[in-house]
Amino acid sequence: MANSINWFEIPVTDFGRAKKFYSEIFGIEMHEEMMGPHQMGFFPGEGVSGAIIKADGYKPSMDGALVYLAGGEDLTGVMNKIESAGGKILQPKSKVTDEIGYIAIFADTEGNKVALHSPK
């Protein structure tokens, strides 16, 4: 098995607001598509990836599994955009170890707890 995770979905209540938030903090364009009755916005990239999703029965949570998104070479750039985009920093950038790098945790505009990781 190459990766223990191959896909993630971050539930949202206001799709437009969430898409704007993630597009702003990462400086990306999210491809939007209806997948059956589910409205989805896809994170770009190869390999393991995921999407924001608006679907009945799917609720944002501060208590579920914690997804770590790639914060680039240094997650400081992403962190500096979170609050101005409408999110809240829950745990500032913190060093784990020299080998693992740094993490930070934030609340998105929808009420999800999400983490970032970077080597620097």
In this prediction the pTM is: 0.91
What secondary structure letter does DSSP report for 84?
Answer: T
Amino acid identity at 60? P
Q: What is the pLDDT of residues 10-35, one digit of tens each?
A: 999 999 999 999 999 999 999 999 99
Answer yes or no: are the C-beta atoms of 14 and 109 closer than 8 Å. yes
All domains of the chain in start order, with CATH? 7-118 (3.10.180.10)
Answer yes or no: are the C-beta atoms of 68 and 118 closer than 8 Å. no
Q: From 7, 22, 5, select the one nearest 110 (Cα to Cα).
A: 22
Q: What is the pLDDT of residues 50-96, one digit of tens each?
A: 999 999 999 999 999 999 999 999 999 999 999 999 999 999 999 99
Q: What is d(CA 42, CA 44) in angstroms, rounded to the nearest whole number?
A: 6
Length of the chain: 120
Q: From 7, 6, 13, 21, select the one nearest 50 (Cα to Cα).
A: 7
